[in-house]
Amino acid sequence: MKPQPEAAHLVSVGARPDGRDIKLSSGAAAAWARMRADAAASGIELAAISGFRSIERQGEIIRGKLAAGEEIGAVLRVVAAPGYSEHHTGDAIDIGVPGETPLTEDFERTPAFEWLKAHAMIYGFHLSFPRDNPHGIAYEPWHWRFSPRPGRKIRQGSRPGPQGPNKAWFPVNSVSSEPRNILEKDLTASWAMRFASGFLMSPVIVTAIVR
């Protein structure tokens, strides 16, 4: 996976139940509003679960998982290293449906996922991590990135606006306050381990995780 730039200009598309704003880049926000409205017109309700995530927040999530006893290799199959997450760009969105547990493979069995497979590309969204993807990231049917193909017309429509509270949610990972030396020990032991996508964890990434 390539390093991902952190977005500077973001648009709110709604609030999470924990009070945090869900934000996307302006292009992704506009496309999401159009796609969500058209899906609703077809009887499909889509809900934004997560959007922009800062490099700092990415480090917090990984620190929490390491402090909970998870191995760094397993963590990096489900959470990109700080600086490498598509969520940094503001173009990636995790999608769920009300009444269903979000961020699980069960999402692929919903009518919403079938609708997305058939129509998301019309709005410029693409599934980032299908099964057996070359990045070595676990299958994520909920994770879609706004990345319009050159020359492809993107459906025009309504302007972006808040989606309102989600009807289904998941617990936010708690941020651990474990001493740095424990996390540094875990990371030092894995220093020579190459992430499945082929990049070597650099001192910059390690600093973001253990700081």
Contact between 72 and 206 (Cβ < 8 Å): no
Q: How far apart are the first and last CA of the chain?
A: 23
What DSSP element (H or E) covers 92?
strand 92-96
DSSP alpha helix (H) spans, the chain: 26-41, 55-67, 72-78, 111-119, 180-189, 203-210
Contact between 6 and 202 (Cβ < 8 Å): no
Report the distance separating Cα 24 and Cα 92, nearest Å.
8
Q: How confident is residue 99, by pLDDT bands cut at 50, 70 and 90?
A: confident
Residue 130: what pLDDT?
97
Strand partners, 12: 23
Residue 17: what pLDDT?
64
Q: Could you report the per-residue pLDDT of 106-165, keeping only the tens digit for each?
A: 999 999 999 999 999 999 999 999 999 999 999 999 999 999 876 555 565 544 444 443
Contact between 145 and 126 (Cβ < 8 Å): yes
Closest CA to 32 of 116, 105, 104: 116
Q: Is 11-210 in CATH node 2.60.40.10?
A: no
Q: Where are the domains positioned within the chain?
A: 11-210
Tally the residues of the chain: 211
